[in-house]
């Protein structure tokens, strides 16, 4: 409706009424609709972001796998892991430890004055387009003598190699003294302390199922084949060649995501130590135990298992699954409910076992 109002000259002007706004009820309805839409879209957005992060994680492992193969092509062996600890160990008096550290008989920290004190991740740097970082260690391939002082090691440790970080867990960053970390670990195969000893074959089945107990070769826990992994561990001067991968390069894991207690995600220590050597808690290596999500690592228990042994598990920050890279360079995702025995077979390179695809 329009109202005609005369002006000062007798002419009439058209004066429109002001427009009516939203009532309070209508506004509340609109807000409610927006809230519902956000509630519906947010999980989808989060799922899309996690899918992108998981794809980036898979790509990281793909790059690590290709670097491992290029290393093998150059040196005719797969890159070995460290003995245990820092690339340089010293005695309590400050002198270099000529034999490094051995958990069974050693008295000094970290088996590191040995030639294989550097991690596998350090040794493949030139094949990840990280030659400059590699050069900071001032070493000569393929056996990496101990460096003359700790400066080179620390220079390397402070480098943040983005390929070694899973984006679902954290961005590349240093902790504590600025040392970088890694979310991926080499596969050491079947964890054992001594030949045929009563060790935990599988201390706990995936996702909190009852423990499977201890197994030895005598009672069938070990196959007639070997129990080595694609990455040599505790093997000073040893080599792992492709001919040693008797189970097949497409059936043997070489790298995978590692479990990490969420309590250590943003802190220094525990299993969140530097990426360039083994550290105290085997930060760059994992074993045959069934993989665990980060959320379960503080609760891991089992036959003969201590609360700190989660540092020997593969795992991930992803919901429901982890990524693993095989010796042939392929990358696959595995559910945390993967059959424990099948996972063990994938972690061992020479156990002569047939992989049952239906249990993956």
Written as one string, the DSSP assignment of 164-178 is GS-TTT--S--BTTT
So what's the pLDDT on residue 138? 61
Q: Is the pLDDT of residue 215 over 70?
A: no
From 92, 137, 122, select the one nearest 110 (Cα to Cα).
92
- Give the pLDDT mean for 74-99: 61
Q: Is the pLDDT of residue 313 over 60?
A: yes
Q: What is the mean pLDDT of the chain?
A: 74
The number of residues making up the chain comes to 360
- Give the pLDDT mean for 114-125: 78
Domain for residue 33, yes or no?
no
Domain for residue 139, yes or no?
yes
Q: Name which residue leads in pLDDT, 60 or 36.
A: 60
Domain for residue 68, yes or no?
yes
Domain for residue 61, yes or no?
yes
Identify the band that residue 159 occupies on the pLDDT scale cut at 50, 70 and 90: very high
β-pair partners for 3: 15
Domain for residue 25, yes or no?
no
Domain for residue 18, yes or no?
no
Identify the band that residue 287 occupies on the pLDDT scale cut at 50, 70 and 90: confident
Residue recorded with tokens 């958990």: 103
So what's the pLDDT on residue 28? 86
What is the token pair recorded at 295? 């959320």
So what's the pLDDT on residue 253? 98
Domain ranges, residue 213: 43-359
- Give the pLDDT mean for 52-56: 95
The helix, strand and coil proportions of the chain, stated in percent and rounded to the nearest 5, come to 30, 15, 55
Domain for residue 227, yes or no?
yes
So what's the pLDDT on residue 90? 43
Q: Name which residue leads in pLDDT, 176 or 285.
A: 285
Q: Name which residue leads in pLDDT, 232 or 201.
A: 232
So what's the pLDDT on residue 91? 44
Domain for residue 4, yes or no?
no
So what's the pLDDT on residue 13? 55
Residue recorded with tokens 């101990």: 146
CA angle 120, 130, 166 (to 5 degrees): 65
Number of independent structural domains in the chain: 1
């Amino acid at each position: 409706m329009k109202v005609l109002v005369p002006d000062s000259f007798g002419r009439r002007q058209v004066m429109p009424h002001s427009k009516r706004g939203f009532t309070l009820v209508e506004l509340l309805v609109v807000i409610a609709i927006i809230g519902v839409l956000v509630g519906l879209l947010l999980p989808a957005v989060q799922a899309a972001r996690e899918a992108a992060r998981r794809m980036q994680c898979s790509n990281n492992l793909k790059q690590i796998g290709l670097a491992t193969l290029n290393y093998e092509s150059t040196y005719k062996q797969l890159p070995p892991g460290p003995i245990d600890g820092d690339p340089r160990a010293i005695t309590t008096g400050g002198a270099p430890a000529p034999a490094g550290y051995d958990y069974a008989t050693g008295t000094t920290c970290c088996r590191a004055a040995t030639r294989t004190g550097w991690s596998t991740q350090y040794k493949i740097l030139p094949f990840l387009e990280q030659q400059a970082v590699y050069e900071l260690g001032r070493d000569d391939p393929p056996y990496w003598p101990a460096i003359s002082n700790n400066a080179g090691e620390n220079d390397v440790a402070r480098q943040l190699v983005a390929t070694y970080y899973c984006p679902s867990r954290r961005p590349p960053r240093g902790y504590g003294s600025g040392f970088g970390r890694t979310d991926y670990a080499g596969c050491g195969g079947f964890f054992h302390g001594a030949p045929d000893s009563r060790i935990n074959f599988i201390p706990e089945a995936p996702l909190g199922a009852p423990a499977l107990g201890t197994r030895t070769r005598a009672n069938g826990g070990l196959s007639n084949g070997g129990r080595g992994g694609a990455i040599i561990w505790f093997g000073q001067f040893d080599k792992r060649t492709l001919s040693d991968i008797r189970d097949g390069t497409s059936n043997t894991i070489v790298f995978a995501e590692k479990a990490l207690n969420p309590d250590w995600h943003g802190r220094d220590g525990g299993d969140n130590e530097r990426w360039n050597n083994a550290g105290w808690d085997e930060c760059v290596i994992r074993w045959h135990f069934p993989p665990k999500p980060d959320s379960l690592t503080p609760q891991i228990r089992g036959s003969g298992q201590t609360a700190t042994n989660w540092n020997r598990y593969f795992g991930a920050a992803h919901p429901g699954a982890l990524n693993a890279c095989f010796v042939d360079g392929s990358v696959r995702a595995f559910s945390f409910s993967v059959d424990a025995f099948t996972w063990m077979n994938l972690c061992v390179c020479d156990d002569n076992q047939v992989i049952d695809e239906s249990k993956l």
